[in-house]
Amino acid sequence: MASLSSTGKYPSHPHLRNHSTWLSTGRANINTLLGSVTWEAIEPREQGVFDFAGLDRVVLDARQHGLRLVLLWFGSYKNCMSTYVPRWVKTDHERFPRCQVGQADGTRRTVEMVSPFSREVREADARAFAELMAHIRAIDERHGTVLMVQVKNEPGLLGDSRDRSAVADDGFRKPIPELLLKHLSTSTTQPAFRERFANIPDGGCHSWKDVFGQGTAANEAFMAYHMSTFVSEVAAAGRQVYPLPMFVNAWLNADRTSYGASLEKGEGEGGADAAAGAVSRAYSAGRYPSGGPVPHMLDIWRYSCADVLDFFSPDIYAGDYALCLQDYQSAHASNVLFVPEQRRDAYGCRRLWLAYASRALGCSPFGIDTADLGVVGREYRLLANIQHLLLTTRAEDRLGFFFDDADQPVAQ
DSSP for 256-270, written as a single string: HHT--S--SSSTT--
Question: What is d(CA 315, CA 340) in angstroms, rounded to the nearest whole number?
Answer: 6
What pLDDT is stored for residue 276 in this prediction? 42
Residue 45 CB partners (closer than 8 Å, separation 6+): 86, 88
What pLDDT is stored for residue 365 in this prediction? 92
The pLDDT tens digits for 60-111 are: 999 999 999 999 999 999 999 999 999 999 999 999 999 999 998 999 999 9
DSSP secondary structure of 350-377: HTHHHHHHTT-SEEEES-GGGS-HHHHH
Residue 203 CB partners (closer than 8 Å, separation 6+): 178, 181, 182
Hey, which residues does 73 pair with through a beta bridge? 37
Q: Using an 8 Å Cβ cutoff, are 117 and 165 in contact? A: yes
What pLDDT is stored for residue 7 in this prediction? 32
Cα 371 to the center of its chain, rounded Å:
21
pLDDT beneath 50, residues of the chain: 5-17, 258-282, 411-412
Q: Which domains does the chain show, CATH number per domain?
A: 2-392 (3.20.20.80)
What pLDDT is stored for residue 399 in this prediction? 57
Question: What is d(CA 28, CA 49) in angstroms, rounded to the nearest whole number?
Answer: 39
Q: Is the pTM of this model over 0.75?
A: yes
Cβ count within 10 A of residue 25 = 27
